[in-house]
């Protein structure tokens, strides 16, 4: 027995080392590229990274932030990143039209956060009132996308438009002006800088039915490594539930370190806005990140009607897959964390 003990110990040690080595090998390395600098609007991804959810799902995730000088879009089809965060479904439609082999696998904003803001007391209190505005400040992306839909649906006119330079100075100096906004950005900035709450007119509430903050990947990754995609989506769902309803300090620390412009005050004001855009609609019953064929068709039809595409340009159904969503991932956790 004495001579066998060291051998048994060595066998046990070898088994432990083998298990540890296997666990290390089992961590699939994936890269997520975001569409802007780190912020609470990306919180679920940073949460899954910070609290070990990605690791628990066998993923070694590297989050590469975007920004004004960063164009992450070409990195996805080139294989430099595995998942790409994009603003809405128009970008995915463009890829299919141009025969770029990408596909949307989850949609984390059930309501697009794009909005138009106005000064209170100026008679622009509902979306239809935008047609009465003297000046509408819009960046180029907005002019060639949702503005075209607004012209058809709400009678706004090109002569109202002036370029938006991503500064609030034009808007604050002219009470009759309205401008584009993002739910967690410009409205909060106006309140902080000017001391009043602007009128926020949501495009989603007005009928602009695109999903927001969609996650694209390569079609070949879906075919060759569907389990990696599944685990990424499920882990991210759980990350978002924890970020919206649980302790998100560790994620916030990473966000603030990555983007020093983010403050605790801004984070706390953003959380209820994020809940109202992420954990609503189908996400309530099917899990965060949910998508539906009916919703995709509705938005595609509106984009075609607005003249953004021709019906013969492409098959919109190739732009997304429901393979990895609507499975209820995170719903049990939400029940234990959410107070509503």
pLDDT at 339: 81
Same fold, 22-110+212-337 and 114-206: yes
pLDDT at residue 192, as a whole number: 94
Is CATH 3.40.190.120 what the domain over 114-206 is classified as, yes or no?
yes
Name the residue among 221, 201, 192, 209 with its Cα closest to residue 83: 221
Q: Residues with Cβ < 8 Å from 251, sequence gap 6 or more?
A: 43, 46, 47, 49, 50, 51, 239, 243
pLDDT at residue 1 is higher than 90? no
Model confidence at 25: pLDDT above 60: no
The arrangement of secondary structure in 22-110+212-337, i.e. its CATH architecture, is 3-Layer(aba) Sandwich (3.40)
Q: Give 266's contacts (C-beta < 8 A, 6+ positions apart).
A: 40, 188
Beta strand extents in the chain (DSSP E only): 28-33, 59-64, 83-88, 102-109, 114-118, 135-138, 161-163, 177-182, 199-202, 212-218
- pLDDT value of residue 18: 44
Spans of all domains in the chain: 22-110+212-337, 114-206
Contact residues for 128 (Cβ-Cβ < 8 A; gap 6+): 154
Cα–Cα distances (Å) from 250 to 62, 257, 273, in that order, read: 16, 11, 20
Place of tokens 């975001």: 34
Residue 110 Ramachandran class (φ > 0 left, ψ -120 to 50 alpha, else beta): alpha
> Does residue 270 register a pLDDT over 90?
yes
The pLDDT value recorded for residue 143 is: 96
DSSP, res 145 = T
Average pLDDT over residues 5-23: 47
pLDDT for 67 equals 83
> What's the mean pLDDT in 129-140?
96
- pLDDT > 80? residue 10: no
pTM comes to: 0.89
pLDDT at 320: 98
Q: Structure tokens of 50?
A: 């910070």
pLDDT of residue 19: 45
Nearest to 206 by CA among 133, 134, 155, 144: 155
* Residue 172 CB contacts under 8 Å (≥ 6 apart), including other chains: 190, 193, 194
Output the pLDDT for position 11: 47
How does the average pLDDT of the chain come out, rounded? 92
In this predicted structure, what is the pLDDT of residue 166? 87
Q: What is the mean pLDDT of residues 228-253?
A: 98
Judged against a pLDDT cut of 60, whether residue 280 lies above it is answered with yes
User: At 278, phi and psi to the nearest 5?
Assistant: -100, -50
CB 215 within 8 Å of CB 105: yes
Asked if 220 contacts 285 with a C-beta cutoff of 8 angstroms, the reply is: no
Query: Going by C-beta distance under 8 Å and a sequence separation of 6 or more, which residues neighbour residue 187?
Result: 115, 117, 181, 197, 198, 200
Confidence of residue 21 (pLDDT cuts 50, 70, 90): very low
Residue given tokens 């509902």 in the structure block: 126
| Average pLDDT rounded to a whole number, residues 23-46 | 89
Q: Residue 102: is its pLDDT beyond 90?
A: yes
């Amino acid at each position: 027995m004495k001579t066998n003990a060291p051998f048994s110990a060595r066998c046990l040690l070898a088994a432990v080392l083998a298990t540890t080595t296997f666990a290390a090998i089992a961590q699939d390395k994936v890269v997520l590229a975001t569409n802007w600098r780190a912020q609470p609007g990306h919180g679920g991804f940073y949460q899954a990274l910070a609290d070990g959810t990605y690791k628990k799902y066998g993923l070694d995730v590297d989050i590469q932030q975007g920004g004004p000088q960063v164009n992450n879009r070409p990195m996805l089809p080139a294989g430099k990143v595995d998942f790409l965060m994009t603003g809405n479904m128009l970008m995915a439609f463009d890829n299919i039209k141009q025969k770029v082999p990408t596909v949307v696998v989850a949609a984390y904003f059930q309501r697009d956060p794009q909005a138009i803001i106005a000064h209170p007391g100026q008679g622009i209190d509902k979306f239809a009132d935008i047609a009465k505005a003297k000046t509408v400040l819009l960046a180029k992306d907005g002019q060639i996308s949702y503005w075209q839909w607004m012209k058809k649906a709400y009678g706004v006119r090109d002569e109202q438009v002036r370029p938006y330079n991503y500064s609030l100075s034009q808007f604050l100096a002219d009470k009759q002006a309205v401008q584009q906004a993002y739910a967690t950005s410009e409205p909060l900035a106006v309140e902080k800088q000017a001391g009043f709450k602007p009128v926020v007119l949501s495009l989603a509430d007005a009928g602009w039915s695109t999903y927001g903050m969609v996650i694209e990947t390569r079609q070949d990754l879906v075919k060759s490594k569907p389990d990696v995609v599944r685990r990424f989506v499920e882990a991210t769902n759980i990350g978002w539930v924890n970020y919206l309803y649980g302790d998100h300090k560790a994620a916030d620390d990473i966000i603030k370190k990555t983007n020093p412009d983010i403050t605790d005050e801004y984070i706390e004001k953003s959380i209820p806005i994020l809940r109202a855009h992420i954990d609503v609609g189908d996400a309530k019953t099917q899990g965060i990140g949910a998508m539906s064929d009916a919703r995709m068709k509705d938005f595609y039809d509106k984009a075609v009607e607005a003249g953004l595409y021709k019906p013969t340009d492409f098959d919109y159904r190739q732009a997304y897959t429901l393979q990895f969503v609507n499975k209820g991932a995170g719903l049990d956790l939400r029940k234990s964390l959410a107070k509503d």
